[in-house]
Amino acid sequence: MKKVITYGTFDLLHWGHIRLLERARALGDHLTVVLSTDEFNALKHKHAYHIYEHRKYILESIKYVDKVIPEYSWNQKIDDVLGEGIDTFVMGDDWEGEFDFLKDYCEVVYLKRTKDISTTKIKEDLKV
Ligand code: C2G
C-alpha cells in the first residue's frame, strides 16, 4: 500500500483544499493529513475560524482522506514520515523546496496551488 502524507490548517475548507487532497490521494492508496492544532496555528501566525476538533471532523468526512493526525511542531515531519510508513510527501507549491530535506526519507511532491481561492480571500471577501 502506497501511503501519502500532507500537512495544513484546512480552515474554512474550500475547493482549492479539496483539489489538493484529491491529487495527493491519487498519488497512492492511503492519505494521511497532518492537521495543524490551534496552538501550532498560533506559531504559524494563523487564527483558524474552526477549532481543531471541528477541522478534523470535516477532513475525516472527505472521501480522499484516510487518517487525520495533529501537527503540533515544525519538527515532526521526519518522525511522521517514518512512523506512519509514508512513501510520498505532498504540499502545495507555495511551499516549493521548503521540505526537500524529506527526500532522504520519501518522495517529495509539490502540487500546483489552485489560483484565486484561499481562506484569507474568503475572509476578506466576506468582510462587510
Ligand atoms: N492549497 C492549494 N490551493 C489553495 C489553497 C491551499 O493547493 N488555493 C494547499 C496548500 O498549498 C497546502 C494545503 O492546501 O498544501 C493546505 O493549505 P493551508 O491550510 O493554508 O496550509 P498551510 O498553512 O500552508 O500549512 O507544516 C506545513 C504547514 O502546516 C502548511
Closest residue CA from atom 16 of ligand 1: 8
Given this model, what pLDDT does residue 8 score? 98
pLDDT by 10-residue block (mean), the chain, 128 residues? 98 98 98 98 96 98 98 98 98 98 98 97 93
Contacts of 61 (CB under 8 A, 6+ apart): none
Atom of ligand 1 nearest to the CA of 11: 19
Alpha carbon of 9 to ligand 1 centroid (Å): 7
Given this model, what pLDDT does residue 49 score? 96
Joined together, the cell numbers standing for residue 46 give 494563523
Given this model, what pLDDT does residue 97 score? 98
Pairing of strands 88-92, 67-71: unpaired
Given this model, what pLDDT does residue 12 score? 97
Atom of ligand 1 nearest to the CA of 40: 29
